[in-house]
């Protein structure tokens, strides 16, 4: 377990929200399993999401009013709860993305400066 942890990327506080929102915006409504496997796939298994992290994030986003969950049917005719991004979610995503970019740029610059010195 511990070695696995070292390999996989640790999520920064708040970044999971951003990733989930972005995912829902580009692909459209998905259920929790889809979100989890998609994130794993995209991150080349580097992002090990456990349910104890994903579900509270979904709860939080729904509480903020940024996503909305509704029960529906999958292609395999199974019942699942599909989460979709709301207009408020889109606005938040935009704002958070800008913030994130600015933040990572800043961190990048600071790190570079460190190596130069």
Partner 1 sequence: MNRYIAQAVAKLRNLVAGRESDADFDREFGTHLAFLEDEFLRRGLAPAAARRAAKLECGSLELTRQSHRDGRAFLWLTQAAQDIQHALRSMRRLKGFTVAAILTLALGVGANTAVFSVVDAVLLKPLNYPDPDRIVQFFLSSSGGTAKGASIPDLRFWQDHANSVEEISAFDFGQSEMGLTSGAPEQVHGIHVTSNYLRLFGASLVLGRGFNADEDSAQGPNVVVLSYKLWKRRFAADDQIVGRAISLDKDWYTVIGVTGEGFRTEPEAQLWIPFHFDLSSVDKLHSFGVAARLKPGITLAQANAQLDVASEAARRASKMPDPDFEFKLRKFSDAMVSYVRPSLLLLQAAVILVLLIACTNLANLLLMRMTVRKREFAIRGAMGAGRGRILRQLIVESLLLCSFGCAVGVALGLIGARALLIASPNALPHIGKPDLAFGLDRRVLVFAAGLSLLTTLFFGLLPALDVCREGFENDLREAGARQGTGARSKRAQSVVVVSEVALSLVLLIGATLLIRTFICLSRAEPGFDSHHVVLMTMPLHDGHTDTAASATSMVRNAHQELAAIPGVEGSAATFSAPYASRMGLPFTSVSSNSTVSGDGEWMAVSPGYFGVLKIPILRGRDFNSNDNEGAPAVVLINEAMARRFWAGRDPIGQQILIGKDLGPKFKDTPRQVIGIVGDTRDDDLSRAPEPTMIIPDAQEPDQMVELETQFGPMWWLIRTHLEPKKLISAVSEPLRRASGGRPVGSVRTMDDVLSDSIAKQKFNMLLLSVFALIALLLAALGVYSVMAYSVTQRTHEIGVRMALGAARNDVRNMVLHEGAVRGVAGMVCGMCAAFFLVRLLADMLYGVSMRDPAVFFAVPAFMVFLTAVAAWIPARRAARLDPVQALRFD
Positions that interact with partner 1 (CB under 8 A): 31-33, 37, 50-52, 55-56, 59-60, 62-66, 76, 78-81, 88, 92
- Pairing outcome for strands 79-85 and 67-73: antiparallel
CB of 112 to partner 1, least distance (A): 33
Beta bridge mates, 44: none
Nearer to partner 1, 70 or 110 (CB): 70
Distance CA 22, CA 14 (A): 13
Question: What residues have CB less than 8 Å from 17, skipping those under 6 apart?
Answer: 57, 60, 61, 66, 96
- Pairing outcome for strands 30-31 and 67-73: unpaired
Contact predicate 49/40, CB 8 Å:
yes
Nearer to partner 1, 52 or 114 (CB): 52
Nearer to partner 1, 22 or 81 (CB): 81
Nearer to partner 1, 25 or 34 (CB): 34
CB of 91 to partner 1, least distance (A): 11
CB of 33 to partner 1, least distance (A): 4
């Amino acid at each position: 377990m511990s070695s696995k942890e070292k390999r996989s990327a640790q999520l920064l506080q708040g970044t999971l929200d951003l990733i989930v929102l972005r995912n829902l915006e580009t692909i459209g409504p998905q259920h929790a399993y889809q979100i989890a496997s998609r994130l794993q796939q995209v991150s080349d298994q580097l992002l090990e999401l456990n349910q104890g992290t994903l579900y509270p994030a979904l709860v939080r986003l729904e509480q903020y009013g940024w996503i909305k969950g509704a029960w529906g049917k999958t292609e395999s005719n199974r019942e699942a709860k599909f989460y979709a991004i709301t207009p408020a979610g889109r606005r938040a995503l935009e704002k958070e993305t800008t913030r994130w970019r600015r933040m990572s740029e800043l961190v990048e610059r600071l790190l570079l400066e460190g190596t130069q010195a």
